[in-house]
Amino acid sequence: MRNISHSGILPGGRSRVLAAVILLGLVGLAGRAAYLQGMHKGFLQQKGESRYSRVVEISAHRGMITDRHGEPLAISTPVESVWASPQDMEITTSQIKKLAEIIGMNSAEIQKKIEGPQRDFVYLKRHLPPEIAARVVELNMPGVFLRREFRRYYPAGELTAHMLGFTDVDDNGQEGVELAWQDDLAGKPGSRRVIKDRKGRIVEDIESIRVPRPGRDIALSIDSKIQYLAYRELKQAVEASKSKAGGIVVLDAQTGEVLALANLPVYNPNNRGKIKSERARNRALTDVFEPGSTLKPFTVAAALEAGRISPDTIFQTAPGTLTIGKATIRDSHREGPLTVTQVIQKSSNVGSAKIALSLPPETLWEILSQSGFGVSTGSGFPGEVTGRLRPHKTWRPIEQATMSYGHGISVSLIQLARAYTLFSAEGELKPVSLLKLDAPTTGERVISRATALAVSRMLEMVVRPGGTAPRAQISGYRVAGKTGTAHKLEGNGYAKDRYISTFVGYAPASNPRLIIAVMLDEPSAGQYFGGVVAAPVFSQVMAGALRILSVPHDAPSNNIVSFPAARELGGDV
């Protein structure tokens, strides 16, 4: 008997096994589908959305910087930047060449960028003008896009460069006020989710993830009109005296606000590609120098406070020299017996040294320290220096003597201007502010009102006939101030024919409104005394600023007394 098998028909056992395997497979697939779509659906959504969904950053508008009257000093203007998504790019070599021509690049440079390791996002060109950006759009190239950004613009250009500083290509502050108040000005960028087609073009906005927060506007203490005046007069003086550099600071004597600040050499912050570090320094805050005879009023104030002298106390300055150890102090002009007032008026180094040596070193040091020397003004400006005031315990007699007329101590121009609030504010040292204040601030009392007024009367004599700064006189106003002419440091000593020339003063002397400090570095046109090269700058700027502020006169309009020729003016080296 033969066994007969039917082809294609499995035995009962095998068919049941096959059916079980198929059933298990279906159950597994169903479970996997349920897991992926139910418990692990985020993974699938992420993979799907990565094909068409993108998160786009939205730049925040940087806050505007204005002067105290709302005049724009720094604004952010919208610009377009060209960027590419290399993985979405479908452009030919000829298209790359055309793009390169439009945005001012070469084809090889573009090719290098899109072939780099960054495959999702790469900038091709930043900050394009609107007309150039429009031409890029007309190319309609897949994977090439425009991004709205902001570029900083400074309407006043070089006039306010050192105060404002500048931003980088990403609109982040790099110098000056832009850096100091970066967090307030920058704001916070936002973001939104969009849908893109296969060519990378945005076809739909899905949602706003984070709304951009614009930066805060900042009002500086600067007065644009006074700033222009100060810059113009300083520039003319630097050119006329052939100085290496120069600086000027204008303070509100009542509030300590900086109404103007300028330095030379300068730069244009709108042309960032050519900014040199030596031009970018805000010398009035970041550089130091020996103040020379502008420090003599503080020596006198210390002695008056200590009760060692009165304005009429007489000191013998003949024969115009004073020898201490191996060193000799000299006056630029021989005088004779001088009152303390005349020591300031004629700027006698010998007289000042004798006054200083009548005091304990600690007494002089305390006045200088409390006047703000050796410490920051607290302006908040990046890189502001503290200057150098050595501990009094290290002073030798010759150092105490030379310290009295501004040698052996280093200060910044803004420190020097601030220190004179001691005399303009009747004994109070005012804080300095680069921001506009809503109300006057209270200063710290350093000397008595009587001492401050006594020194102020001496400073008025400096600009009168017989003083070192008649060129600082102003028609219709009483002026108080002091000249300074100091040899520059060179190695371990002083240069023989290189000088720092300064003048610091305030007006109207009867009720001070403004303080102005002027410094010229290495004037080389023949004249170098502070009363000759720096005092006229003070006079021109102060006269103009008082008119701008409508400050009432406190003297007759014919109060200016003729002064001798420049060669006859006394010096204070």
Cβ proximity of 400 and 295 under 8 Å: no
Cβ proximity of 364 and 300 under 8 Å: no
Q: Are strands 444-445 and 428-429 parallel, antiparallel or unpaired?
A: antiparallel
Per-residue CA distances from 112 to 89, 94, 108, 109 (Å): 14, 16, 6, 5
Q: Which amino acid is at 48?
A: G
Backbone angles phi, psi at 415, to 5 degrees: -65, -45
Shortest CA distance to 285 belongs to which of 388, 384, 409, 420? 384
Residues 6 or more apart from 380 whose CB is under 8 A from it?
180, 434
Q: Which amino acid is at 86?
A: P
Measure the CA–CA gap between 499 and 528, rounded to whole angstroms: 7
Residues 6 or more apart from 154 whose CB is under 8 A from it?
73, 74, 160, 161, 164, 166, 269, 270
Per-residue CA distances from 269 to 125, 218, 232, 261, 542 (Å): 20, 18, 18, 16, 27
The secondary structure of 128-168 as a DSSP string is E-HHHHHHHHHH--TTEEEEEEEEEE-TTGGGGHHHH--B-
Cis? peptide before 117, omega within 30° of 0? no
Question: Which sign does the torsion angle of CA 518, 519, 524, 527 carry?
Answer: positive
H-type alpha helices, 371-478: 397-403, 413-419, 421-424, 449-462
Measure the CA–CA gap between 39 and 33, rounded to whole angstroms: 10
Cβ proximity of 366 and 421 under 8 Å: no
Cβ proximity of 179 and 188 under 8 Å: no
Shortest CA distance to 75 belongs to which of 172, 155, 187? 155
Active-site positions read 293
